[in-house]
């Protein structure tokens, strides 16, 4: 990773403002709360130590860093699960938090968690962060067409899964 001349002087402020949002984002994408928190923590640690290449608002940069770190985290998680049958899944919401949601919403979140990682990632960026296809394409380094088709397939899979459960 390249280092830059920008000191992390605004990082504390960014942490205060965005940490919780970034954890939600990471937890939805990874499908695992603890891992999501880890990812965000590591991003802050990295930026703290190496600086960042951004003038002004750090949020887009931090989001992109989190989303990209999520991909490695997902790979690691799959590896852990393969080698440890007792590894518990930690959904993005704790049991107490989930209890505050309607059954319908819980079903949607559960179906989302079952999607393949790339589809889940695109759907979360599209429908949670409400980024445009172009923005998602830039963030993930893929074409807008791929974003479009991945989102469409993801939604179709979600619709099918929800039809089965209801």
Partner 1 sequence: MTSPDEITRTADRLKDALGAAADVMTASDSPVGAAAADVLSSGDSLVRIRDSKVRHAWKWLVPLTAAASVVAITLAAVFVGHWAGQAGKTAGRAIPATSGPDPAVANSPGVQAARSRVVKILGSAPYCNRSIEGSGFVYAPQHVITAAHDIAGVSWQTVTTADGVTYSARVVFYDPRIDIAVLDVPGLNGAPLRLSTQAAAPGDNAVGAGYPENRAFTAVAARIATVLRTEGTTIYQTGHVDRQVYQSRGVVQPGDSGGPLLSPSGTVDGVVVSTVEKVGVPASGLALTTSQIQADAKAAASATTPVSTQGCLGGGCAAVQPLSYLSPPSPGAGLVRQRFWL
- Does the protein bind partner 1 through residue 90 (CB under 8 A)? yes
- Does the protein bind partner 1 through residue 2 (CB under 8 A)? no
Closest Cα to residue 14, out of 59, 54, 46?
59
| Shortest CB 117 distance to partner 1, Å | 16
In the window 16-45, what residues touch partner 1 (CB under 8 A)?
A: 16, 19-21, 23-24, 27-28, 32-34, 37-38, 41-42, 44-45
* d(C-alpha 4, C-alpha 11), whole Å: 14
| Shortest CB 142 distance to partner 1, Å | 20
Closest Cα to residue 121, out of 20, 22, 25?
25
Residues that bind partner 1 (CB under 8 A): 8-13, 15-16, 19-21, 23-24, 27-28, 32-34, 37-38, 41-42, 44-46, 48-49, 72, 76, 79-80, 83-84, 86-95, 97-98, 100-102, 104-106, 108-109, 112, 123-124, 127-128, 130, 152, 155-156, 158-160, 162
């Amino acid at each position: 990773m390249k280092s830059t001349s920008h000191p992390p002087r605004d990082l504390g402020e960014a942490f205060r403002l965005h940490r919780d949002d970034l954890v939600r984002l990471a937890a939805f994408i990874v499908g695992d709360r603890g891992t999501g928190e880890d990812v965000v923590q590591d991003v802050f640690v990295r930026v703290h130590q190496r600086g960042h290449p951004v003038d002004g608002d750090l949020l887009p940069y931090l989001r992109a860093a989190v989303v990209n770190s999520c991909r490695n985290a997902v790979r690691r998680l799959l590896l852990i699960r393969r080698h440890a049958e007792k590894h518990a899944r930690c959904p993005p919401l704790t049991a107490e938090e989930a209890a505050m949601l309607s059954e319908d919403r819980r079903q949607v979140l559960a179906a989302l968690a079952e999607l393949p990682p790339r589809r889940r990632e695109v759907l979360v960026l599209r429908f949670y962060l409400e980024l445009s296809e172009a923005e998602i394409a830039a963030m993930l380094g893929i074409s807008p067409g791929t974003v479009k088709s991945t989102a469409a397939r993801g939604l179709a899979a979600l619709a099918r899964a929800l039809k089965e459960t209801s």
